[in-house]
Amino acid sequence: MCANSTGQPDESTLAADASAPQEAPIPAHAAHSLTGGGPTAHILLDGQIYTLRITRGGKLILTK
């Protein structure tokens, strides 16, 4: 899907998207829920542990 200068989808692509097969929605998770209200959470993927951190500035950092 193309976006215009405001970041919104172009009207010309909306019609094309309407006829495309619908995909499952992408899951959304609140960062503070993942961290249990604290600043960090560990995330396990394929036996590897990653650390998700919420900075004081409200940014997210994911490290291995």
Token pair in block for residue 52: 């998700």
pTM value > 0.75: no
> Per-residue pLDDT tens for 6-57?
566 666 555 555 676 889 999 999 999 999 999 999 999 999 999 999 999 9
Output DSSP code: residue 13.
H
Strand partners, 44: 49
pLDDT at 3: 53
Q: How far apart (Å, rounded) are the C-alpha atoms in residues 62 and 54?
A: 9
Confidence of residue 61 (pLDDT cuts 50, 70, 90): very high
Of 9, 18, 30, 43, whose CA–CA distance to 51 is shortest? 43
Hey, what domains does the chain have and what are their CATH numbers? 11-63 (2.10.70.10)
* Sequence letter at residue 36: G
* Res 64: pLDDT: 96
